[in-house]
Structure 1
Amino acid sequence: MALAPRLDLRQSQSLVMTPQLQQAIKLLALSSMEIEAFIAEEVERNPLLETGTSEIQAESPPDDFTALPTTESGDRSSDDVLGGTDMAASEALDVDFGAETFHHDGVADSVGGADGMLGLSGGNTASSFDGEGPDFDSFAAADISLREHLMAQAGASLSGRLLFLAQQIIEQIEPTGYLGADLLAMAHRLGVSMAEMEEALTEVQRFDPTGVGARDLAECIMLQAKEADRYDPCMAKLINNLDLVAKGAFDQLKRMCRVDDEDLRDMMIELRSYDPKPGCRFESESSVAVTPDIFVTARGAGWAIELNSANLPRLLINRTYVAELGQDKATKAWLNECMADANWLIKAMDQRQRTIIKVATEIVKQQDGFFRGGVAHLRPLTLRQVADAIEMHESTVSRVTSNKYLHCDRGLFDLKYFFSSGVQSADGDGVSAEAVKSHIKTLIDGEGAKILSDDTLVDLLNAKGFDIARRTVAKYREAMGIGSSVQRRRQKKMGR
């Protein structure tokens, strides 16, 4: 067949990803603080936009958790999509915008619910929303940094060349309090002898907090032991063998230190009283309060789900501003553009709220047992299960659940907390990994003098209806920071 140029006419359907539609999709993944910052920028940029003072009425889903259906669409502009019906808007926003654009979706789309938690694994964080009150944080004095604290001490007690060298050492001290540079390399760089650097370091190590300027953990503990006048030969031997302490090799330590059980126990208690990171107390950052995006409260036999209106400023269009401006052609064109942008943002925010409510409703429906009975009744759940139930794309659910928090009677939870893998149970339904961890922790907390081995834990969990292997029990136990039966037995023996 001869090769020749020709013209073909083809008909196809595609979704046009305009910049406005791309921004609407990005809005789904923003946290409440990021949304506030975004809206503030838009209000400052667009003179027709302003925030209202009245509260937005929070949306509440129907009692039967009915999800809105979606259909396929062809080519539409972002204005047509966001200005159309709820189903059309949901469908247009429900697209996979590509991992290269939303690079964070790779982690968010994974199942591991336990890893998805943002420091809220306990789930018992008490939250209070009592309205107005004094901001006591505003009365707090400014925190002094570790560097400033050490520099002040150096300036008060040292002078001349020694002060200069001490300041150079302080500049290399890490936030934990350890010296983060090689002393010999510093001596070569500054053109001084190693003896002078050692003298300057000795002076720095006398500063508060005790243990600052140490080059390793053993030296840090040693400095604190000397300050407490507890650095005898036995304690020195114990500090020089911290690896054996970590392994729990207490019999070997007794022989090396030449002490009995009671003396070793006293030494261990003394050792645990020291601070391994003395500089951290000066590097504390102000806590950022996490405000929930969704409230879940019991309502009859079901649940009421509503958005936190405090996180959603009400957007209004100032139409009187249009009338006050001149009516020349350039001004009218600019005002029309501002009006279109304002209308788009209002519609995009409204659709974002509807999508969050839709996803949260399905999560509450799937995890009804958790809200009624606690973490022991948490079911395994994946993003795909929720996406299939509400007929949306999995990436949309991932964006909606990113940086969003849910508040219920049981505390404040990241939405990712409700997604986790699971194990098989006797009744045929899966059990969440978080539920299994809860049972393991309960059994270990109540083991008393009889330490439970992993094999015993497997038998006890099997009796409860969990089909779980020993390696899985060990993995979950280590993930919770619980030692093995041998380590726990040694800790009990030493009174830890």
Structure 2
Amino acid sequence: MKPSLQLKISQHLALTPQLQQSIRLLQLSTLELNTEIERILLENPMLEREDGEEGGAEAVASVEQAEATRHEEREERDFAEIRESSGNGEDADFEPAVSVDPPETIDAAYEAASDDDLGEAAEWRSEAGSRNGGDDDESDFQEFQAAATSLRDHLDAQVALMALSDRDRALVRFLIEALDDDGFLDTPLEELLELIPPELEVEVDDLQIALRYVQHFDPVGVGARSLQECLTLQLRNCPECSARSLALQIVDGQLELLAARDFVKLKRRLGCNDDGLRAAQDMISRLNPRPGAQFTHVEPRYIVPDVIVRKTRGRWGASLNPEAMPKLRIHRVYADILQQNRGSASALSGQLQEARWLIKNVQQRFDTILRVSQAIVERQHQFFDHGEVAMRPLTLREIADELELHESTVSRVTTQKYMASPRGVFELKYFFGSHVSTDTGGACSATAIRALIRQMVAGEDGRKPLSDATIAEMLGQQGIVVARRTIAKYRESLNIPPVSQRKSI
């Protein structure tokens, strides 16, 4: 066949740049949205924040000028008072002598002073403190407070206080550098010895001695090579008592039985009674299995809620958080320039259109979040009144059908978006979940079942904890049919140990 050209008409879905930006902004979290907006503000001069910053420089300058004028007036008034007190007028020589008035004169002057005079004096002292570097001292203190001490710095400070030879001091610091974040020495001494140059003639015994020094440092238990050695070091640092001796025996060879809570076999092997075993268990439970973790600096993760839930006139409602909404506007100066020079600034015309798209898409994003949040609040109002046990089963499809949105849009809205309520801050995804059928033909939310399991375990008898089968039977008596495997899955998601590990003496 000969090649030929054909004209064909078809329909296909095309995403415009405006629609692509709207979808991208919808799936961003609040922090990511602010980062994206900051990037666009740097690239697009037609966009600015509406934070009332217009005329801010002039206002600051006028305030500073007024403060300077007031300060000069106070100084002139103070010098005038000094000249008058000298008794010779303005031409008198200033005597640098210090005179102390009688107490009754001072009290009388204090009582005669007006509130304005005292306020001005306090303000003058405040200004003098700021001129003397008070703000710098405060900022330095804040920076000092923000600086976190690491485990290695804490141990190095203790090494500096010890009377050691240069060789031993170097070996101790070498072992300190080999510790992990929990304070454990995971690498065997033989492997560490291979890292030391042979010409230094260091042996394993030298590292053993250096390790003993490290194990006597604070926090107690640092430098241990295993959990058993860590607990043993801490127990040896405790006062001598019968519980300490029994705890050392448990840690030395019966730690697995204690973890399995096989108290019957423990009492038979150790030859102790319930009270002695309970005291030893309490002592072991108070030990720190990760002595170096307290020096680990964890960056806090801050959450800015997008929606705030309040109860007004007996009804729960959602409203947008004004602190999370960026206030944007078109830059008036550049917009006026563009209007006066139409057709000569094509680049600015495109940036003006992009700025309008961004403002519209940001507003549409928060409107969609508010609609979805309000629909969730109306469906889950029992949760805000009674807690997790009253959570209703809810799916993304139900909200999408109610608001006439696509299910993927609801999924984007509920991801990394948070709701602040009197019961806490929750991600919007939290209110969705699977359900379990009941005897009456209804459905119970998985979140409510987890809350019931947590309540049952919290109220159980420690000597006879509830098994998964027993919990399933108790839920069945309430009309909630749940299999034992489902109970086990929910229990593990709540970080509740199995029945064998919940048993107490």
User: Which TM-score band (shorter chain)?
Assistant: 0.7 to 0.9
- Please give the alpha-carbon distance, in whole angstroms, between the structure 1 residues aligned to 2:329 and 2:144: 35
C-alpha deviation, 1:484, in angstroms? 3.8
Structure 2 residue aligned with 1:26: 24
Partner SS, residue 190 of structure 1: coil
More off after superposition, 311-320 vs 193-202? 193-202
* Conservation of the 8 A alpha-carbon contact between 1:237 and 1:256: no
Within 5 Å, which residues of 2 pair with 1:66-215? 140-157=145-162, 158-191=164-197, 192-215=202-225
Q: Using a 3 Å threshold, how does the CA distance of structure 1 residues 326 and 262 change in structure 2: closer, same or farther? A: same
- Which residue identity does 2:495 align to in structure 1? G
* Conservation of the 8 A alpha-carbon contact between 1:451 and 1:485: yes
C-alpha deviation, 1:4, in angstroms? 4.2
C-alpha deviation, 1:186, in angstroms? 1.4
Structure 1 residue aligned with 2:113: none
- The answer to whether residue 255 in structure 2 is matched with residue 250 in structure 1 is no
- The answer to whether residue 284 in structure 2 is matched with residue 271 in structure 1 is yes
Within 5 Å, which residues of 2 pair with 1:25-424? 25-53=23-51, 140-157=145-162, 158-191=164-197, 192-229=202-239, 234-240=246-252, 241-285=254-298, 287-300=300-313, 302-323=315-336, 332-424=345-437
More off after superposition, 209-218 vs 361-370? 361-370
Aligned length: 410
Partner SS, residue 466 of structure 1: coil
- Please give the alpha-carbon distance, in whole angstroms, between the structure 2 residues aligned to 1:330 and 1:274: 76
Structure 1 residue aligned with 2:6: 8
- Which of 437, 441, 452 is matched with 2:454 structurally? 441
Q: Using a 3 Å threshold, how does the CA distance of structure 1 residues 193 and 375 change in structure 2: closer, same or farther? A: same
Structure 2 residue aligned with 1:460: 474
Q: Using a 3 Å threshold, how does the CA distance of structure 1 residues 23 and 175 change in structure 2: closer, same or farther? A: farther
Task: List runs of 5+ in structure 1 lacking aligned partners.
Answer: 55-134
Cα deviations by residue, 1:359-406 (Å, 9 ceiling, x for unpaired): 212222332332333211212223333333333333322221121111
C-alpha deviation, 1:242, in angstroms? 1.8
Structure 1 residue aligned with 2:488: 474
* Conservation of the 8 A alpha-carbon contact between 1:403 and 1:414: yes
Q: Using a 3 Å threshold, how does the CA distance of structure 1 residues 195 and 459 change in structure 2: closer, same or farther? A: same
Q: Using a 3 Å threshold, how does the CA distance of structure 1 residues 202 and 384 change in structure 2: closer, same or farther? A: farther
- Which residue identity does 1:464 align to in structure 2? Q
Cα deviations by residue, 1:227-254 (Å, 9 ceiling, x for unpaired): 2245966433311332211100122222
* Conservation of the 8 A alpha-carbon contact between 2:247 and 2:281: no
C-alpha deviation, 1:328, in angstroms? 8.2
Cα deviations by residue, 1:21-53 (Å, 9 ceiling, x for unpaired): 434322122221222222222222222221112
* Conservation of the 8 A alpha-carbon contact between 2:246 and 2:277: no
- Please give the alpha-carbon distance, in whole angstroms, between the structure 2 residues aligned to 1:357 and 1:187: 63
* Conservation of the 8 A alpha-carbon contact between 1:218 and 1:239: yes
More off after superposition, 390-399 vs 16-25? 16-25
Partner SS, residue 406 of structure 1: strand
C-alpha deviation, 1:350, in angstroms? 1.1
CA RMSD for the aligned pairs? 3.0
Partner SS, residue 195 of structure 2: helix
Partner SS, residue 193 of structure 2: helix
- Which residue identity does 1:177 align to in structure 2? G
- Please give the alpha-carbon distance, in whole angstroms, between the structure 2 residues aligned to 1:162 and 1:430: 69
- Please give the alpha-carbon distance, in whole angstroms, between the structure 1 residues aligned to 2:26 and 2:307: 14
More off after superposition, 17-26 vs 186-195? 17-26
Partner SS, residue 492 of structure 2: helix
Higher relative contact order (CA 8 A, sep 6+): 1
- Which residue identity does 2:452 align to in structure 1? H
Structure 1 residue aligned with 2:77: none
Q: Using a 3 Å threshold, how does the CA distance of structure 1 residues 462 and 155 change in structure 2: closer, same or farther? A: same
- Which residue identity does 2:247 align to in structure 1? M
- Which residue identity does 1:25 align to in structure 2? I
C-alpha deviation, 1:466, in angstroms? 0.5
- Which residue identity does 1:219 align to in structure 2? E
Q: Using a 3 Å threshold, how does the CA distance of structure 1 residues 139 and 172 change in structure 2: closer, same or farther? A: closer
C-alpha deviation, 1:159, in angstroms? 4.8
Q: Using a 3 Å threshold, how does the CA distance of structure 1 residues 151 and 398 change in structure 2: closer, same or farther? A: farther
- Please give the alpha-carbon distance, in whole angstroms, between the structure 1 residues aligned to 2:152 and 2:18: 47
* Conservation of the 8 A alpha-carbon contact between 2:317 and 2:377: no
* Conservation of the 8 A alpha-carbon contact between 1:176 and 1:277: yes
* Conservation of the 8 A alpha-carbon contact between 1:440 and 1:457: yes
- Which residue identity does 2:466 align to in structure 1? L
TM-score by length of 1: 0.75
Task: List runs of 5+ in structure 2 lacking aligned partners.
Answer: 53-138
Partner SS, residue 50 of structure 1: strand
Partner SS, residue 416 of structure 2: coil
Cα deviations by residue, 1:409-465 (Å, 9 ceiling, x for unpaired): 322211111111121113322211110111122223233476434333223211211
TM-score by length of 2: 0.74
* Conservation of the 8 A alpha-carbon contact between 1:294 and 1:306: yes
Q: Using a 3 Å threshold, how does the CA distance of structure 1 residues 274 and 50 change in structure 2: closer, same or farther? A: same
State the identity %. Answer: 39
* Conservation of the 8 A alpha-carbon contact between 2:317 and 2:374: no
Q: Using a 3 Å threshold, how does the CA distance of structure 1 residues 261 and 373 change in structure 2: closer, same or farther? A: closer
Cα deviations by residue, 1:230-279 (Å, 9 ceiling, x for unpaired): 59664333113322111001222223333332222211111011111111
Structure 2 residue aligned with 1:109: none
More off after superposition, 305-314 vs 19-28? 19-28
